[in-house]
A and B are shown apart, each in its own frame.
Chain A
Amino acid sequence: MVHHKGHGRGWGRLIGLLPAVSLLTVLFLGALGFSVAQSLGYAPQYGVMSFPTNIYYVSLFKDPGFWQSLGLTFYYAITPTLIGLMISIGLSLLLAHKFPGKGAALFIYKIPMVVPYLVGVALVLILFANGGIFARILFALDIIDRPSDFPRLLQTAEGWGIMLVYLWKQVPFMTVVLYAHLLVLSREPEESALLLGANRVQILWHVTLPRLIPAIVSSSLIVFAFNFGAFEVPYILGAGYPNTLTVEAWRLFDDPDYTNRPKAMAIVTLVSVISGLCLLVYLSLYRAYERKRGRV
């Protein structure tokens, strides 16, 4: 792409970028700055003035509850990303076929993408609670006798309810990305592999999937990052204790004792840093993979 560079652009550039940059500097960098400063003990409004101190971080690292929450946060973030990815690959391959009612199917599957997560929470509550629709169906079929025989999926540390909402919301999203990618790929490699006698599983594994890798990486990355920092779903559908780091941070921030707030800020700072690091590691693994395949 050739860019115009005439026009003596210094000032024009400044005027163009300045409003957006200054707004985000104040609201975004300023917000992060506030969070980090409080996590280091700068909170005069709550009578905490021990800046700079690392006691909030140290006390977190010493608390086994923190490590448990960190583990759960990873678990709730990674599991639905992987399962969702598998379903999405299947769904996008199905959608790439010709079938009657395709227009409607392309409309329907996108619905979860455009509604808030809270809608997913409501649906999971009505379906998967111990007295929910599925439990009632099993009762009607004489498979269970009482609601407590139905597996407990909501508000437990196993987090099934949380992950079900993520799957419902995110399978469509990942599918859109994968399907869009499939549309622009040519069918030639698959067809020549078929001619060479490869079966369908081999084609999927050795031809189609490798070509979908960029879309797989970008979509799962976005989904993972979202899940890692999500709040309302684990808040409503997670266990009271232990729960994700974001929910623990919320509890501390919401505590009547304001001197707990710096600790909450230490947690959110760590959540940001850890999720940023994960993205970096993931991206560099991907780059290494691409280099190995000689694409870049």
Chain B
Amino acid sequence: MKLKNLLASAAIMAVSVYATASSAADEAAAKFREDFLSGQLSWSDVEARAKTEGEVNWFHWGGSEKLNAWIERNVVPALAAKGITLKTTRIAGTRDAVDLVLADKQSGKGVGEGSVDAIWLNGDNFYTLVQQDALFGSFADKVPNAENFFFDPADPASQLNLSDFGTPTEAREMPWSGEQYTCYIDTNRLSKSEAPRDFEGLEAWVKENPGRFTYVKPPHYIGNTFVQTALYAFGGGYEPFQKSITEFTPEEFAKLVEPGFNYLRRIEPYLLGGEKAIYPQNQAANQALYNNGEVDMACEFGLYFVSNQIESGAFSETTETLAFPESGMIKNKNFLAIPSNAPNPAAAIVFANVMAEVDLQISKLKEIGYPLGVDMAKLSEDDQARAVAAAPKHHGVTDAELAALAVADTNASLVKVIETIWGDYIERKVEMPFLQIVKGAMEKAAK
């Protein structure tokens, strides 16, 4: 047994020596970062360095076969033309990539030394990187294709580019795609005229047809967004939810969200499963419920989601998008962020620029139905016409209807609080006054 003790301590010693021996920072990369961010480098300098770096490691959600195929066929060759090999890591959740960046950072890896060059993200994942000071810097407004975006804070059209779930982007991430939270129905089972138009209508309809609706369970972002949409409807629209949590007292916040949460509690007995309501874990489970005819209506992000699903055979041809609710459908953009410890920072910047190219954006819209990340009004008339022609067909709604109802998403600092309240008040039905629950959730988030 003594031998074993000896071995164990030897192993632990070896481990700790290895862990503390952090390498010296990559000075060339650090200098590049400083020079680029202060505007001292020309674009050809960046491209030249990107070529010597030779590769870029992009981490993206890999759950869509369409997207994966589109990337291999379009993005890989576009970067190869610039002398850069695109290595993509398909992750199940964006959090995995954020974790990796933070773990690298904790072990003292700086610019040029980490393992992630770019992440496709938005919302709380971006917020986490901002809070941990783990972003490369304001690059998105310094690349040639920045001209495809509104970045001027004075211009209200810039809002979606400058604010990501209420967190100022400060051009630390490149807008890449856009989304809107939509609901869809099967017109074979629920006619358009009977379909709810707002949350009151939804309540009346589920009471008539118990068990024919449910929503994805928070803290999954699809579920969070449904809850936020309901809170908007009963809390005076999206404006109050743009503020940060630090601007609320628990009493004020409880007053703002209580009507919405009471609504969610009121409809719960009429959701799928009745008394023991069933909330699917994620969009795949939600789609299965819809597809198997267990629910007649379901909601998730995706302006062209319905046409994509019909095209791939997943949904029946009788599926239509619903302009629900009239109180406001959350719309946002998603982005490409570069971490502060990107191993190939120049290649990452070139990659972000390529992704913002009009041709690639139009091909993304046309082939896989991912909405434009670039701003339509910034494009030439020619390109605008091409983009309009490329857009997949909507089923049951028009672009104008959807655009008229679009509202901003919730401030990222509120998201965590809202999901905690949902867990306590709706899922676990904690026996506490609502204000107590809100206080607890706010304390937990402040920790």
Contact = CB atoms under 8 A, between A and B. Distances in A.
Given A129-B292, A130-B294, A131-B292, A30 B8 contact: yes
Nearest to A33: B8
B11 A155 contact: no
B69 interface: no
Interface in A110-144: 129-132, 135
A240 B217 contact: yes
B291 interface: yes
Contacts of B211: 148
Contacts of A29: 4, 8
B168 to A, nearest CB: 21
Nearest to B291: A131
Nearest to A18: B3
Given A45-B106, A256-B95, A131 B128 contact: no
B45 to A, nearest CB: 37
B285 A25 contact: no
Interface in A8-60: 21-22, 25-26, 29-30, 33, 45
Nearest to A30: B11
Nearest to B279: A240
B272 interface: yes
A147 interface: yes
B288 interface: yes
A26 B427 CA distance: 42
A131 B288 contact: yes
Nearest to B280: A155
Interface string B275-315: 01011110001001101111000000000000000000000
A21 B293 contact: no
A240 B219 CA distance: 11
B132 to A, nearest CB: 11
A241 B281 contact: no
A25 B217 contact: no
Contacts of A181: none
A240 B278 CA distance: 9
Contacts, number: 57
B8 A146 contact: no
Contacts of A130: 289, 292, 294
A225 B428 CA distance: 30
Interface string B1-15: 001100110011000
A1 B8 CA distance: 34
A155 B291 contact: no
Contact of B285 (A26, A30, A33, A155): A155
A155 B278 contact: yes
B419 to A, nearest CB: 12
Contacts of A146: 293-294
A25 B8 contact: yes
Interface in B344-386: none
B273 A152 contact: yes
Nearest to A125: B288
A240 B281 contact: yes
Contacts of B217: 240
B7 A22 contact: yes
A180 B235 CA distance: 68
A130 B95 CA distance: 31
Nearest to A26: B11
Nearest to A241: B427
Contacts of A155: 278, 280-281, 285
Interface string B127-143: 01000000000000000
Contacts of A135: 292
A22 to B, nearest CB: 5
Contacts of A45: 106
With a 10 A CB-CB cut-off, give which of A25, A33, A148, A241 has the most chain B CB atoms.
A148
Interface string A219-254: 000000000000000000000110000000000001
Nearest to B96: A254
A59 to B, nearest CB: 14
18 contacts: A21-B4, A25-B4, A26-B7, A26-B8, A33-B8, A45-B106, A130-B292, A131-B291, A132-B292, A135-B292, A146-B293, A148-B211, A152-B278, A155-B278, A155-B280, A155-B281, A254-B95, A259-B447
Interface of A: 21-22, 25-26, 29-30, 33, 45, 129-132, 135, 146-148, 152, 155-156, 240-241, 254, 256-257, 259
